Amino acid sequence: MSEQNTRAGIWLMVLTTFIFAMQDGISRHLAGEYNVLMVVMIRYWFFAAFVMAVASRKAGGLRAAAATEQPFVQGFRAVLLVTEICVMVLGFTLLGLVESHAVFACYPLLIAALSGPVLGERVGWRRWAAIGVGFLGVIIILEPGFGVFDPRAVVPLCSALMFALYGLLTRFVARKDSAATSFFWTGTVGSVAMTVVGLWFWEPMTAVDWAWMALLCVTGAAGHFTLIKCYEVAEASAVQPFAYLQLVFAASLGIVVFGESIEWNVVLGAGIVVAAGLFTLWRARARELEQVE
């Protein structure tokens, strides 16, 4: 039964990464035509409605989902995530899907590096070595030694740093709050924060782009739904390595649909980053098993 659950979880993770890659492609299109803040704001309106619909169906309803002893940390998490999404979508418009995702793939390494100071976890020398090798891959992607360094390349790196901090804070609040509570705060507070900012950048949209916006909202909800189901049937450590497939799907979309090119340094650097990230996931899993035994 456990093996069947793991297999189902892997397929759900593959589906989730595909959906999120499609969402990134739609975001790239819309943000190329309209203000990034407005695009993310509308997307978050639908996300908040989805979160509240899910919460209302569970025991205790919205009141139970909102209950927390860590409102400031939960609120900061939510604002951090929505800011990260804005930065990442901006990266899509500046660099494209291929390079943005290649750099963003370093976020598990950032989580490993920051888990010590943020959560007080011990990071052994093997994982520190993997982190160092991974950031060598990031340097290869960014090509700082060839010509003038392009500051736009820092955008997805900042996004990865924010997402890593968001992930660590999610683990921190999980010590007292349920996943349903964190999910509720992420959607509702994020939506309020984006509305306060995004309404100032409202632009009229064409009917065709409203259709794309509707698809963006649906893919966002669908991706979170499949991700929730994935973690319900399988352990996170077993399925997390397959999250790297989003890099493959998004890069393929960038090349086929948006006519982006992929350079040798991006392929090499991304390969190093992914390999280092997979090693850190494996070491974290090994440490968990050692502690259980």
* pLDDT per residue as tens digits for the range 114-130: 877 776 777 777 777 88
Burial (0-12, 13-18, 19+ Cβ within 10 Å), 146: exposed
Distance CA 50, CA 145 (A): 46
Q: Estimate the crossing angle of helix 154-173 against helix 107-119, to 10 degrees.
A: 50
How far the first Cα of the chain sits from its last, in Å, is 22
Residue 266 and residue 99 in contact, taking contact as beta carbons nearer than 8 Å: yes
**Between 98 and 116, residue with greater pLDDT:** 98
**Mapping DSSP to helix (H, G, I), strand (E, B) and coil, where does residue 91 land?**
helix
Residue 21 and residue 244 in contact, taking contact as beta carbons nearer than 8 Å: no
How would DSSP label each residue in 264-278?
HHHHHHHHHHHHHHH
* pLDDT per residue as tens digits for the range 201-248: 999 999 999 999 999 999 988 888 888 788 777 776 677 778 888 888
Q: Is the pLDDT of residue 18 over 90?
A: yes
